[in-house]
Amino acid sequence: SAQIADLQQKLLDADNGDRAKQRWDSIATILEAKCALKYLLGELVSSKVQESKLQSGLQQSQASCSDVQKMLMEERNHIAEMEAEFQNQILVQEQQHQEKVNHSSWKFG
């Protein structure tokens, strides 16, 4: 039944396409041509408005993406700074520990 419904929908779509073509082919008067032109201009305006909205949305998305990338870079830099500081602290503690060990062995040696 799903296949039948799909085929029926395809037939309706094809029929509608044929009807639209027949309508355009059957324009015979200036009044019909004016109506068709008015319809086409309305569709053009609608398409331009939709394009403008989509373009605006794209620009907003690009700006948001840029902001997120900037924040990510700042966080990576911050993490790198923290890692360097941590490594420096480890080195200082190792040196202090080594000095204590050397001092203790020299004192007790």
DSSP string, 27-91: --SHHHHHHHHHHHHHHHHHHHHHHHHHHHHHHHHHHHHHHHHHHHHHHHHHHHHHHHHHHHHHH
pLDDT along the chain (109 residues), means of 10: 84 68 75 87 95 96 96 97 97 92 70
